[in-house]
Amino acid sequence: MGRRTLLLIALFLLAVGLLRCGEDPAKGPSCPGSDCEDAGLFAPADAEPRADSGIIDIDGSSDGSKTDASSADANQADAEPWLQPDASAPAPDGSTSPDASWAGADTGVPDSSEPAAGPDAGLPDADAPLAGLDAGSVDASGPAPRPDAGTLGPCISGASGPIAVRFAWAGSWSGSTAHVVYETNGLPDTSRWKAGAYSTSFSYTPTFEDIYLGEGGLALEGNNFMDVELSTLGLSTLRRVTLAIYGRSYNTTASGSFEWQTIQGMNAAPTDLVSNSAPYEWYAADATTEFAAGDDGVLLRIRPGPSSDALIVNRVELCFDAD
């Protein structure tokens, strides 16, 4: 057979092979070199460009896929088991699950363990007192710091006398329930000794307020009042009784005062005696005519007075010059 004939036969076989490679995969076997030798059962997979199986040959040789060993597969799950991250190995932050944030990549998500950097929101730090204001809150476990008694004896309000009766108002925070802290009772008979805050309105709860401008105290305003139960048994002579409050007028523009009443009578401090400014001060008035010696049922009622008719009362003191 001559060379011309052999050349024609070779060209014919080449043409047949090329025609078979262009044949519809679903109708016949795939072209040479395919791993599909199942007569078309899985042929649709050959109809699309085949993705890299992701197996990286250690020796750098081609694995028959369209991606050779010189390019890393972006899909970490396609890598050989020994090339995948160990899910049981702890990350630098102590976690046990693989996380791109510790693999060196920036995920763009702020670390929840650290405060996010950003502009200052302008809010005061919850751990620090407000600038320019006295945090002055009174711990519920005890009264506010006691004003200096100086050399005035048991009475710390500035009044003179050998017998002092005093209580304070305390609370946990602004708006919390105010409660009484009994500080001293120097009367001979202490069997009757009670103080409280009440109102002619229903559903009244004493509230502790004004912790930023002073020590804070009972908000005494409107129909609210304080009742103090005492006994003057054992006293034969009352020369002077001084009623004093420690606090301020609870009003931004007006000063205030206080009024009191017992079975013996009623009286009032001068109008606007109590300043509305801070710091707190002691404000005293003569209440001698409203008390009697030897009375085992004293009931003293104290109300806010003009002009503000609203007070913050941190302490109340009665100073007796008696024997």
Identify the CATH number of the domain in which residue 247 sits: 2.60.120.260
**Res 286: pLDDT:** 99
| Cβ pair 137, 173 in contact under 8 A | yes
**Res 117: pLDDT:** 42
Neighbouring-strand partners of residue 85 = none
In a domain, 17, yes or no: no
Containing structural domain, residue 303: 163-322
Q: How do 207-209 and 265-268 pair as beta strands?
A: unpaired
Q: How far apart are CA 25 and CA 20, in angstroms?
A: 10
Give the chain's radius of gyration (CA, Å): 46
Residues of the chain with pLDDT under 70: 1, 18-153
How many residues make up the chain in this entry?
323
In a domain, 267, yes or no: yes
In a domain, 302, yes or no: yes
Give the number of domains in the chain: 1
**Res 1: pLDDT:** 61
Structure token pair of residue 216: 């804070």
In a domain, 4, yes or no: no
| CA-closest candidate to residue 197, choices 179, 213, 174 | 179
**Res 11: pLDDT:** 80
In a domain, 70, yes or no: no
Structure token pair of residue 291: 């008390």
Which SS3 state, helix, strand or coil, does residue 75 take?
Answer: coil
In a domain, 271, yes or no: yes
In a domain, 199, yes or no: yes
**Res 21: pLDDT:** 58
Is the preceding omega at residue 90 within 30 degrees of 0, hence cis?
Answer: no
**Res 214: pLDDT:** 96
Question: What number of other Cβ atoms are within 10 A of residue 193's Cβ?
Answer: 15
**Res 3: pLDDT:** 74
Q: How far apart are CA 136 and CA 113, in angstroms?
A: 33
Structure token pair of residue 297: 């049922």
In a domain, 310, yes or no: yes
